[in-house]
Every structure is written in C-alpha cells, then in structure tokens.
Amino acid sequence: MEVFLPIAQVFINPIEILLLSAIVGVLSGLFGVGGGFLMTPFLIFMGVPPAYAVANEANNILATSVSGSTTHWLKNTLDYKMGFMIVIGGSIGTALGIYTFTYFKGIGKIDTVISLAYMYILAIIGTLMLVESLGEIDKAKKNVIERKKLHVHYWIHGLPFRMRFPKSKLYESVFTPIMIGLVVGFIAAIMGIGGAFILVPAMIYIIKMPTKLVPGTSLFVTIFVSVIVTFLHSINFGSIDLMLVVMLVVGSIVGVQVGQKLGEQIDSSGLKALLALLLLIVGIIIAYDTFFVEEIQKETIKSLNQDLNFFSKFIKEFSKDMPFFYGLFSILFAVSLGIAAAFIRRFISNFRKKYFNKTLKQTK
C-alpha cells in the first residue's frame, strides 16, 4: 500500500514511515537524544528529497518537543529566562541557516550539502559516543572511580554583560546562551534537527545549569527553533507536507513514550555503544549514497490536480496559494498534537496510579 505525498511528490508506504518513526522515537526516549538526526536520513533513504525531509522532520520535532516540554512545564523543571536567551541566538542562527539553505538551493547543491552535513554529524556523534561508552565499560571492569573537578572555567565565562538566572542559580554573561543558540539555530535550519545533542552538553558543561533543568529547557528552546525553521521553510520553499507530518508525529510520539518507559526499567548505558554503531552505519550508508552511487535522474512525477484525492488537493492548493497561513497552520497543528499527547500521557499515568493504589489497598 503506497500513498502519494502531494507536496514532496513521491510515493511512500505509510506503515513503513509509522514504524520507522516509532522505532526512532523509542531510541530517542531511551537515550534522551533527539530523533531528528536519525529520522531525516531514513526519510532520504525512503526516497523523500532531502530538502523536504529536513522541513517535515523540523515540524515533527516541534510536536514532540511541545509534548516533552509540556510535561516539564507541569513538573516546573524549566528555566524560562535562560531558555529565552538561547532562543534569541537561535532565531538569528535559524535566519542565517535559512539564508545559507537558500544559497545552496539556488546553485543546485543543497542535497549534497545536507548529505555531507549528516555524514559528518553522525560520524562525530557516533565516534564520541563509542569512545565514551568504551571508556565506561573499561572503568566498570577496573572499578575506577573518577573524581571530577567541581568548576572548570573557560574563556566564555569571562564575557561581559552578566545577568542573574535565579532558577538555575547562575550569574552568567548573556553572550554565552546567545552564542550556543546561534550554533543550534544554524544547524537546525540546514539539517532539520532539534539540536539537543549540542544544547544538552553545552547547558551542562559550558553554562553549568542544574541537570534537572536541562531536558525541559532544551525542549523549550527546541520548540521556538523548530517553529522558526518550519515557518521559514514553509513560506520560502513550500516544502511542508502535512500528510507526511501526521505519520511522523503519530509514530514518534508513541515511540518516545515507550522509550521513556523502557528507559526507567533498563540500564541503557550498555546499549550506548550499539546506538553509536547504528549512527556510524547510517553515516556510512549516506557516504556510500553520496560518493559511490551513480546519480540517477529521478523521474519527477508531474501530478495533475485531478489525480489527487480531496485532502491531497486541498493541502497542495493551500500551501501554494497561502504559504503564510499554511506555515501557521502547520505550526498550530504540530503544537496541538504535542499538547494533546502530553495531557493524554498525564491522564494515563494518573489513571494507572489510582488503579494500582486501589488494587494494592485491596490486596492489603
């Protein structure tokens, strides 16, 4: 069973997309990493053009980060002030990223640039994770307890315009979060990822935020960055395909919840090496695709509006005639799905607690 995507102009199997996004969601929930840098390459392997894969994955990330951030908002584990500072840098970075994207699209090199960017990012993350996990295994074997320094100061801590961040109990230069946001926004715009793999270590090791505030604040920043990325991609290139977004969001939201539950029950540190290997394998497949596979001129499918069903026709015309409102609609759609998922999760969790408490009382 194949479905035609009216905007990306390709046929895809919806079950495959749902399964893949669910698997990536599980990995994402289990290891606490964003799924963007795995899902976008998978979409590319399935035939979705890279420029469309990037834009639609950004919209999917928006839904999942809204879902995660709402949960942290309900638990009060968010530093808004720090988050907004990173968002300022993120907005500038995203605008620069879209400008770069437009330039490479103009000269017809955007697909190669996206593939190369993924190849290197996956190689860097995979290598670092593999080395780290081997080190952890080694230390566990030798029973080594490492004493870490309490405070390490980098040049970045000497920057001017310091500001108090009461929630994180920090007195930090505003330039530190702005610069980190700039890098994250730039990468997010070109690669369609949330940037948690940069944000989380930067918040812990450079900004030195309390660890319990890091995941929520990182997701909070990701919401704003992915809103800007989705909106700019939609109005500049008309590349958001709501049919693809629905499949991605449903699969990943379910997958993330399963992954988080699994993560509470099993020790995922031993599995880190396996995830690192998976990243390196995906990186080498992209390298093979980019360097060795002969460029096949893909037949462009010129679909006439008459061939499409009502929903596909509506999406195509809406995107073409009103790109501004289509962009806004895509954002609101992802945000509503994310909030709904967070509340459903809370409802199920409360229901389970009540049910288990009742059964426990009855057994006593």
Q: Is 325 in the site for another protein (CB under 8 A)?
A: no
Position 176: which residue type?
A: T
- C-alpha dihedral sign at 82, 84, 86, 88: negative
Q: Which residue has the tokens 């006439």?
A: 304
Question: By the 8 A CB rule, do 227 and 136 touch?
Answer: no
Q: Which is nearer to another protein, 136 or 317 (CB)?
A: 136
Q: Which residue has the tokens 């369609």?
A: 192
Q: Which is nearer to another protein, 246 or 276 (CB)?
A: 276
Q: Buried b vs exposed e over 337-359: b needs ≥16 C-beta within 10 Å?
A: bbeebbeebeeeeeeeeeeeeee
In the list 9, 77, 100, 127, the residue contacting another protein (rule: CB under 8 A) is: 127
Q: Is 100 in the site for another protein (CB under 8 A)?
A: no
Specify the length of the chain in residues: 364
Instruction: Give dist(CA 227, CA 229) in Å, integer.
Output: 6
| Nearest one of 226, 204, 285, 206 to 35, comparing CA atoms | 226
Q: Which is nearer to another protein, 93 or 283 (CB)?
A: 283
In the list 171, 291, 347, 355, the residue contacting another protein (rule: CB under 8 A) is: 291
In the list 47, 75, 103, 112, the residue contacting another protein (rule: CB under 8 A) is: 112
Tell me the closest approach of the beta carbon of residue 105 to another protein, in angstroms. 18
Q: Is 183 in the site for another protein (CB under 8 A)?
A: no
Tell me the closest approach of the beta carbon of residue 290 to another protein, in angstroms. 7
Q: Which residue has the tokens 């908002």?
A: 73
Q: Is 271 in the site for another protein (CB under 8 A)?
A: no
In the list 35, 41, 192, 283, the residue contacting another protein (rule: CB under 8 A) is: 283
Q: Is 130 in the site for another protein (CB under 8 A)?
A: yes
Interstrand relation of 162-165 and 10-12 (parallel, antiparallel or unpaired): unpaired
The encoded tokens of residue 239 equal 């590349």
Tell me the closest approach of the beta carbon of residue 54 to another protein, in angstroms. 20
Please give the size of the binding site for another protein, defined by CB under 8 A: 17
Residues engaged in binding another protein (CB under 8 A): 112, 116, 119-120, 123, 127, 130-131, 134, 138, 280, 283-284, 287, 290-292
